[in-house]
Structure 1
Amino acid sequence: MPVTPTYPGVYIEELPSRVRTITAVSTSVTAFVGHTRRGPLNQPVTITSFADFERRFGGLAPDSAVSYAVQQFFLNGGSIAVVVRVAKAGTAGSSRVALQAAGRDVLELTAREPGKWGDGLRVQVDYDTPTPDQTFNLHVLDLASGSQESHFHLSMDPHGDRYVATLVNSSSALVTAEPLGEAPARPDPSGTVSQPFETVPGADALTKTYEVTVNATKREFTLYDPATDGAAPTALAQLALLLERKLRALPDAPGQRAFSAARVRVSGKQLQVIAGSGDPGHVLTFSPKDGGAPNLGSAVNPPVHALSGGADGEPPGFADLIGNEVDKTGVNALRDVADVNLLCLPEVAGYADLDQMVTVLAQAERLCVDKRMFLLVDAPASWRGIDDARAQLTKFDPLGDHAALYFPHLRMVDPLTGRLRAFPPSGAVAGVMARTDAERGVWKAPAGTEARLAGVTALTVPMTDPENGLLNPVAVNCLRIFPVIGPVVWGARTLEGADRAASQWKYVPVRRLALMIEESLYRGTKWVVFEPNDEKLWGQVRLNVGSFMHSLFRQGAFQGTSPREAYFVKCDKDTTTQQDINSGVVNIVVGFAPLKPAEFVIVKIQQMAGQIEV
Structure 2
Amino acid sequence: MPEYLAPGVFVEEVSFRSKSIEGVSTTTTGFVGPTRYGPLDLEPEIITSLVEFERTYGGREKLGYANAGEVDNYMWHAVRAFFEEGGKRLYVSRVFTPQDETDPWSGHARGGLPGSPSPLAVFARFPGAFGDARVTFTFKMGQSVLVADGSEPGVRSLVSRDVVWIRPSTAGGGSPGAAEGYYLALWDAVNDTWAFSSNGDDLATADVQLAQLTPGAYEMRIVTVTVTVTPLTGSTVPFTSPELPLDPDHERAGSPDGLFDYFSEEPASLSRASTLPIVFREDDVAGFDTGVEVLNAFFNAAPGTGSPATGLQAALEDNDSAPAERSVSIVLSDGDDGNRPQADEYAGVTTPSDRKTGLVAFEDLEDISIVAAPGSTFGYKEADYGPTARTIVRALIRHAERMKYRIAVIDCGDDQTISEVRAMRAQLDSTYGALYYPWIRVLDPLTQREIHVPPSGFVAGIYARNDVNRAVYKAPANEVVNLALGFERFLNKSQQEVLNPEGINCFRYFEGRGMRLWGARTISSDPEWKYVNLRRYFAYVERSIDKGTQWAVFEPNGEKLWANVRRTIEDFLLNEWQNGALLGEKPDKAFFVKCDRSTMSQNDLDNGRLICLVGLAPLKPAEFVIFRIGQWTADRKV
Q: Same fold (TM over 0.5)?
A: yes
Report deviation, 1:54: 1.6
Which secondary structure does the structure 2 equivalent of 1:405 belong to? strand
Alignment partner of 2:295 out of 188, 201, 215 = 188
Q: Specify the SS of the correspondent of 1:360.
A: helix
Aligned to 1:389: 421
User: What are structure 1's unaligned runs of at least 5 residues?
Assistant: 196-208, 215-222, 224-235, 245-261, 265-272, 276-302
Is the alpha carbon distance of 1:319 and 1:564 closer, same or farther for their aligned partners in structure 2, counting shifts above 3 Å? same
Amino acid at match of 2:596: D
Q: Is the 8 A contact 1:191 1:304 kept in 2?
A: no
Give the conservation status (yes or no) of the 8 Å contact 2:88–2:464: yes
Give the aligned CA root-mean-square deviation in angstroms: 3.2
Q: CA deviation at 1:577?
A: 1.9
Does 2:242 align with 1:150?
Answer: yes
SS across alignment from 2:135: strand
- Aligned-partner Cα distance in 1 for 2:556–2:599: 16
The match for 2:97 is 88
The TM-score normalised by the length of structure 2 is 0.74
Query: Which range is displaced more, 107-116 or 77-86?
Result: 107-116
Give aligned pairs, total: 514
Aligned partner of 2:474 among 440, 444, 448: 444
8 Å Cα contact 1:105/1:180 also seen in 2: no
* 1:346 CA displacement: 1.9
Corresponding residue SS for 1:585 = coil
Structure 1 residue 164 displacement after superposition: 5.0
What do residues 371-408 of structure 1 show as CA deviations (whole Å, max 9, x unaligned)?
A: 12101111111413x333334432x33x3110011111
Q: Which deviations, in whole Å up to 9, do the C-alpha atoms of 1:120-155 show, x marking residues without a partner?
A: 141426474744212763421022423310343342
Q: Are positions 1:115 and 2:110 aligned together?
A: no
Residue 114 of structure 1 aligns with an amino acid whose one-letter code is: P
**Which of 577, 583, 599 is 1:553 aligned to?**
577
Distance 1:13 1:125 in 2: 64
1:380 aligns to what? 413
Which letter does structure 2 place at the counterpart of 1:134?
L
Query: Matches of 2:489 and 2:612 in 1, distance apart?
Result: 48
Change (3 A) 1:571 1:121: farther
Where does residue 176 of structure 1 map in the other structure?
A: 279
SS of the residue 1:153 aligns to: coil
Letter in 1 for 2:578: R
- How far off its partner does 1:158 sit? 8.7
Deviation by residue 1:196-215 (Cα, 9 ceiling, x = unmatched): xxxxxxxxxxxxx988879x
3-state SS of the aligned residue for 2:132? helix
2:538 & 2:98 partners in 1: Cα distance? Answer: 37
Matches within 5 A, 1:185-584: 185=290, 186-189=293-296, 190=298, 240-241=319-320, 244=321, 262-263=322-323, 273-274=325-326, 303-324=328-349, 328-350=356-378, 351=380, 352-353=382-383, 354-371=386-403, 372-384=405-417, 386-394=418-426, 396-397=427-428, 399-448=429-478, 451-496=479-524, 501-584=525-608
Is the CA contact (8 Å cut-off) linking 2:440 and 2:486 kept in structure 1?
A: yes
Give, as a single letter, the amino acid of the residue that structure 1 aligns with 2:108.
S
Higher mean displacement: 341-350 or 179-188: 179-188
- Distance in 2 (CA, whole Å) between partners of 1:2 and 1:527 is 21
**Greater CA deviation, 46-55 or 152-161?**
152-161
Q: Does 1:134 align with 2:184?
A: yes
Distance 1:78 1:155 in 2: 45
Give the corresponding residue for 2:50. 50
**1: CA distance between counterparts of 2:243 and 2:18?**
51
Give SS of 2:527's match: coil
Deviating more after overlay: 106-115 vs 583-592: 106-115
The amino acid of 1:82's aligned partner reads: Y
Q: Distance in 1 between matches of 2:374 and 2:262?
A: 39
1:591 positional shift: 1.4
CA contact (8 A) 2:246 2:294 kept: no
Structure 1 residues 193 and 107, CA gap change in structure 2 (3 angstroms) = closer
Contact 2:566 2:593 in 1 (8 A): yes
Paired AA for residue 188 in structure 1: L
Could you say what secondary structure the match of 2:543 adopts?
helix
Given that residues 99 and 187 in structure 1 are in contact (C-alpha distance below 8 angstroms), is that contact kept between their aligned partners in structure 2? no
Matched, 1:604 2:597: no
Look up the SS of the partner of 1:363 in the other structure: helix
The secondary structure found in structure 2 opposite 1:139 is: strand
- Is the Cα–Cα contact under 8 Å of residues 138 and 323 in structure 2 kept in the other structure? no
Partner of 1:41: 40
2:79 pairs with 1:70:
yes
The answer to whether the 8 Å contact 1:106/1:187 transfers is no
- Percent of aligned pairs sharing the same letter: 32
The CA deviation at 1:418 is 1.3
SS in 1 for 2:245: strand
In the TM superposition, residue 28 of structure 1 has moved relative to its aligned partner by 1.3
Q: TM-score, normalised by structure 1?
A: 0.76
Q: Is the 8 A contact 2:260 2:285 kept in 1?
A: no
Deviations 1:283-326 (A, max 9, x none): xxxxxxxxxxxxxxxxxxxx223333422334312332223356
Residue type of the partner of 1:64?
N
What is the Cα deviation at residue 85 of structure 1? 1.1
Give 3-state SS (helix, strand or coil) of 2:319's partner: helix
Q: Which runs of 5+ in 2 are unaligned?
A: 63-71, 101-105, 143-157, 165-182, 186-222, 232-236
Does structure 2 retain, via aligned residues, the 8 Å contact 1:151–1:168? no
Tell me the alpha carbon deviations over residues 153-179 of structure 1, each in whole angstroms, 9 at most, x when there is no partner.
Answer: 342349997665444433552333335
Counterparts in 2 of 1:569 and 1:99: CA distance versus 1, 3 Å? farther
d(CA) in 2 for partners of 1:391, 1:375 = 19
Instruction: Give the aligned partner of residue 59 of structure 1.
Output: 59
Aligned partners of 1:210, 1:7: CA distance in 2, in Å? 95
